[in-house]
Structure 1
Amino acid sequence: MASGEQITLDFTKLEAPPALNDEVEKSLSAVSKTVNVSVSGKELKIYVEEVVKKDSTPRFGILFLHGMRFSSKNWLDIKSVCHVANWGYRAVAVDLPGYGKSVNTMAPELNSELLQSLMRVLDLQRPVIVSPSMSGSFSLPYLFEKPGSCQDRSRGYVPVAPVLTEKFVANYKQVELPTLVVVGTNDKMLGAESTKNLMQLPRAQYAPIEGAGHACYLDNPDAFHRLLFFFLQQLKD
């Protein structure tokens, strides 16, 4: 997609990704673990779910964050991590501090540092970041506080109605980061506001899921996976 070209995707017209079945899932390797992440001198224990395809080298990593009422378990329940691993990527879903099985908490102003340290511990180099709702308070400062080096930290961004988009509007036009703006059409508040802001990114693609609410990936996982599959195929290794 050329710089400045913004398009709307219709998930019903996109190719369905390869199907998951019992045989396919047997070809995947899943690991659950807790890693130690240092943030401003404090050591946090962060819970991680990771899935890759056995006997293959993944193209690059996909980091799944989560919303306030959710955790990494949601990505397991709808099998997003399994889909992504089957497509040839390294799927990593984490419980952010104070959520799920990551019991430590920390000051919000350290959110960007937490992601940076977590990437280093997990050896995730320029992952695609999937960031719904509350997790925008982590992904947005990590990516856009220093817009000039954004693409050194990520190769693609998949925001799903994240919080705090208004805080970085002045920086968006400086960023050539491929972005898939996913939103449920019934999310009239945060979804509508965040979409208006994020579509100022020069390489943003608008990906509405008709009839879905705020957690649109849970309302219609098939649509979400089609959109994600399409987006990832466009990215370079």
Structure 2
Amino acid sequence: MQNLEKFVQVNGAKIHYIEAGNGKAVVLHHGARFNAHTWEETGTISAIAEVGYRAISIDFPGFGKSESGNFGNLSDFISSFIETMKLDKPILLGASMGGEAVLEYAVDNPKKLGGLILVGAVGVSSYENKLKDLDGLPILLIWGKHDNVSPKHNYELILKYVKSAKFVNIGNQHACYLDDPNGFNEQIKTFLKGL
């Protein structure tokens, strides 16, 4: 299945994304050192398309091929992107910085989502008082065994408040999808098939 490079205007900014597959949308958000192509290199876009979903890997504003634009924060951008693309209850995947952005959007809009995949998300404790609002939403938490950027306290906090969250270790480092892309993609495919 071919990955297509596309652009869309979001609040006047030209935003780049890579898309493959059809079906319910899974929107992928990268970490601070990465961009939309990271999820292409790990085979994650293709893996998601393989199991009957529409994978959309975006470059955050000011990253990769996206313009900076004028967004309050990354959560506001996610909200605008979902509205612009007219996505119905998408599943959001976010790694590290992208994980925090996705989490911030999710705690404010749990009813607008079909699921959540957080990979070594940072800043989780900032949203502790709202985490319980995510209970009932299918959530997959993926952390590297020796993540030295996002400590295990972050996923433990989510597991404490969200009974519908499932946790797995993949690889070792913070960017665990680089350690074991196949294992990472298999976990995501299993999660998506179960929705």
SS of equivalent residue, structure 1 residue 199: helix
Identity of aligned residues (%): 28
Counterparts of 1:114 and 1:51 in 2: how far apart (Å)? 21
Within a 5 Å distance, the mapping from 1:93-132 to structure 2 comes to 93-106=57-70, 109-132=72-95
Q: Which has the larger radius of gyration?
A: 1
Partner of 1:206: 167
Partner of 1:71: 35
Which of 116, 123, 140 aligns to 1:180? It is 140
- Listed as ranges, the gaps of 5+ residues in structure 2 are none
Partner of 2:130: 171
Within a 5 Å distance, the mapping from 1:4-153 to structure 2 comes to 28-38=1-11, 43-52=12-21, 58-106=22-70, 109-144=72-107, 146=108, 149-150=109-110, 152-153=111-112
Partner of 1:192: 152
- TM-superposition CA deviations, 1:204-229 (whole Å, max 9, x none): 101111x4210001110011011111
> 8 Å contact 1:135–1:162 — kept in the other structure?
yes
Partner of 1:19: none
- TM-superposition CA deviations, 1:166-211 (whole Å, max 9, x none): 11111112322111110000114414132122212221101111x4
Q: TM-score normalised to the size of structure 2?
A: 0.92
Counterparts of 1:137 and 1:205 in 2: how far apart (Å)? 17
> 8 Å contact 1:31–1:50 — kept in the other structure?
yes
Instruction: Pick 1 or 2: higher relative contact order, CA cutoff 8 A, min separation 6.
Output: 1
Total equivalences in the alignment: 193
> 8 Å contact 2:43–2:185 — kept in the other structure?
no
- TM-superposition CA deviations, 1:99-148 (whole Å, max 9, x none): 111131545x432221111112222211111100011342122111x3xx
- Listed as ranges, the gaps of 5+ residues in structure 1 are 1-27, 53-57
Partner of 2:118: 159
